[in-house]
Chain A
Amino acid sequence: MAVILELKNVSVTFGHRMVLEDISFAVEEGEDVAIIGPNGSGKTVLLKTILGLIPHEGQVIWRPGATAGYVPQKIEADRSVPLNVRNLLESKAAIIGKGEKEIAEVVGRVGLTELMLTTQVGHLSGGQFQRALIAFALLGDPDVVLFDEPTASMDEPGEEQMYALIDRLQAEMGLTVLVVSHDISFVHRHAAKVLCLNHSGLCFGPPHGVLTPELLSKLFDGTTLYGHTHS
């Protein structure tokens, strides 16, 4: 498989603080890569750096012509703003030169109802909001989708549904997926490769090969994880 995204010696500093240090890895087309690490380890910063939102040292190399969709972890939707999901999809469609047909397609894929489309974003439930963000990311048929903790603040059945949705979308659309996750069992079940991040990259490779108990203990500094490690 061809490489679609490669990071070479990427570092990010905020003031005097090194948030990402010398990160290098490559993602192949159609791969499902999980990014794990404790809170504050730079996972969100890494996704934003990949998207070109944060100044950095080193290189982020995309395959020429590759496009990316982004599902951020949390958006504090302002309840005083009368924007609904349809407004957002229409605005993105206008900017990337797509139309009603493409909007209808992503709405169908993600399973948004007409009621959800016309509800103010500030009034959607957590799961509905997440689906809306995924529809937004998928509009324009990107090659790569970056998910930042898509199941944060969801209950267990909600998490399963969300991961099932991501799996289905990946299979249907041939997406390359990067998912930030806390959930080690998800990583084992779904990810082809895992990047362990604690400011610097501590591991990169297939989960069964690289996620040793010693490494996890080092990564999370002895803190307890939810999920379970495979023997």
Chain B
Amino acid sequence: MTRTKTPGSSGTAVCLLVLAATLLLSGCAALAGIVDAGANLGIVDSGTVEAFNNASSGLRSFADSVDAARSPFTPEQEYYIGRSVAAQILRDYIPYGNPFVNIYVNRVGQSLALVSARPVLYHGYTFLVLDTDEINAFATPGGHIFITRGMIELTETEGELAAVLAHEIAHVVERHGLGSIRTARVLGAVQDGVFQVVDAATPEEVEEVTSLFTDTTGDMVDSLVTRGYSGATEREADGIAVGLLLAVGYDPYSIIRVLERMDEVQRAEYEGSRQPRGFSKTHPRPSSRIADLERTELASVTPGARIDQNAAQRRFDSALGNL
């Protein structure tokens, strides 16, 4: 790849760089014409023309790249970001070792994903139970979805488990994780042309991209485990989760029952002056999420399931009874 070098020594070129920025931001081609005219008249030397061309080329590239950064990453990039986010989460958590539990959770989760707006991902949706009392769930952009044993223990029906998984699927569908890393750091990397590194890249370029990858996945892990998404993002995921529950036939109010129990846990944390853990650190208060859902997605929805609840309960108890 050929990197565009902006001229640094010429004051004229620096002025042109600023002017070119103005030009490009305004979408006006007049300045280029002025430079061309100046060259033709002999009042702008060839070096300055070249400097302008280099500078404007770099800025145009940046403008294009910023547009690109607003677009989603490619599915392949989402997958590799997701794998490394998952690997970092699994550095801090231990997988729950019972394969029957994990298969059951995958059956529930992957069935829900089928009715989502993105039923097919680069690799697919897979779910893993984390062996911790902490109450939480995470999703990577690649479709790796984690739910803690503590969160599962908070659920009492397959519909409630489905509600938690559906919320995480919604984060994947809406690419919320990637939204959290569209920050100045990423845009800065775009400006530096890091995304333009192609095959046959030098070791230095690979190192540069890897550094960006480190920052990007680090940002994501931070959002998932520590900072959380915005309240609006979480509310959107709750709303989509209700839609997924309805589409399969689970009681859409399953999500309310889980949130009510999460609210009890959070109240106990506050009353005991305990440090917030898990979802309490990263999500809006469950009581406000309940109020939002009852005012919006659930406002005109009748409680009740369309599935055979007895059959669902039997397999839920069978799979998770000894958790």
Is B one of A's binding partners?
no
